[in-house]
A and B are shown apart, each in its own frame.
Chain A
Amino acid sequence: MSTMQEKRNIPDRLGTSTARLLGSWEMLLLGVAILIFIANAFASPYFLNAWNLSDATFNFTEKALVAFAMALLIIAGEIDLSVAAIIALASTAMGAAAQAGVGSFGLVMIGIGVGLGCGIVNGTLVSVLRLPSIVVTIGTMSLFRGIAYIVLGDKAYGGYPDSFAYFGQGYVFWVISFEFALFVVFAIGFAILLHATNFGRRIYAIGNNEFAARFSGIRVERIKFILFLLTGLMSGIAAICLTSRLGSTRPSIAQGWELEIVTMVVLGGISILGGSGRIGGVVIAAFVMGLVTFGLGLLNVPGIVMSIFIGLLLIVTITLPILIRQIRQRATA
């Protein structure tokens, strides 16, 4: 129980023991990533090929884009379970627009617009009406995907313009795909936002002690609103990449992604209780999850069995640090 006590003390101790703890978590994660990489290389002779590795990145880039924004939201003590539904709705809107003959630029704007719109809905419900984000986003999750179902039913949209394919299938340079480049750019952008700006500092403050943050003049509601907006925006961008890569839209697109995205964030060392964690961890976690699913795919493991691994990964990564701390405390006490 005193783990909570430690976490509350973070603001005036940032950069000392917590940083070391998180550093070791990230190092551990990096070790896991390297191990999985080596295991994959042994499991399949085709793995160590630049193009194959490039293909492997598609397993996580889209989810990671959303995970960056989700990480900020979770650090601030909120959560958004509607992200996958936002992707579905944005993809459906782009599909409908493509049918109407809208060009690539218009489609991108629509994807981003729908993402922002959904973010505004969530943000308003949570920070203006002050409702609990978990229930609100469970509601908007069925609302957003429900609208996609109303529009599409059991049909699918296809027929996107040829130039639209670039976002999910194009390459910037040699084996570096557009999606991977986007992943790198946003990873750097979010790391700067979280770790090198006042805004990021305030996010930690809110997550550690919202009450105190409010008393120190931080506009808590406004920052939460912006974070929901950001999460909606990133979901919209992910929807553009995913739709472009698949070339078609069904209402069940990105089903269950909210779980994988939350898992990615938590695996990256972001505390689900808010207030701690770093973007670097999420980046490594994205590689770990991408490599695990890619490796299991090479071994012909079906998707639903892979989801068992994801679920276990989520619970084990949360349980382990708690267990270790409990054992240590028992040892010292």
Chain B
Amino acid sequence: MTRSTALAWARATVVVAIVALLEILCRTGIIKPLTLVPPSQMFADLYHLLVAGEITDDIIQTFLEVGTAFAISGVAGFALGALVHALPRLRQALDPLLAAWYAIPLFVFYPLLVALFGLTILPLIAIGVGFATPAMMIATLTGLDRVPPVLRRVARMHRLSPLTTIWRVILPSAAPYLFGGLKLSFAYAFIGVIAGEFILSGGGLGYGIAYAYESFENHKMYALMLFVLLLAVGVNAVLQGLESHIARKRSRQ
């Protein structure tokens, strides 16, 4: 068994053990049913919700919001990062703002966004973009900073045009950082959208959880929470796998 396979097994064992422990605590009544539904029940409830199509609209809305916010932040974060990298004076001015960005509770602007865009999906996308874009910007700046100057000299030696240099040398060199930025952007867009739906929305998975909570629909609430958890872990695992694939080529094996 390789080291990575052994680690994967160890991780899976820990997760299964925690779920089994929760199951026992719930089934024996140590944890009250009003506090937590047994995990097996959560899976069963989620299955029924999915089969009945009861949460299909919420899933579509959240996917649309997260996908749009992720796409905008990926493109805008990269473009802004590249622009700021090319303009050192602008960078000097923006650096403190970027560093302090995640200290600002963006949700305080949510009422303003609702006033601007109405109670549509736009404020939620805006919150997602606001959360995710700086992560992509910072990753782009770091990636471009880390391109070894000698590689730019190699590009000049081969008399590459500026566009070919960017496409063939700079972007591949910065790729691991850019990919890391995309991974973070997705996580931030997801958090921003779900949290926004909690506060003020007429649909989406976050709204569904909040509505079920207020209606004392414990089974639905936990099923939705499980879905959000599985979704976040699943997407992250896929992105992590792609990131590891890129990193493997560049590290000693």
A and B interact physically:
no
B interface residues, Cβ below 8 angstroms from A: none
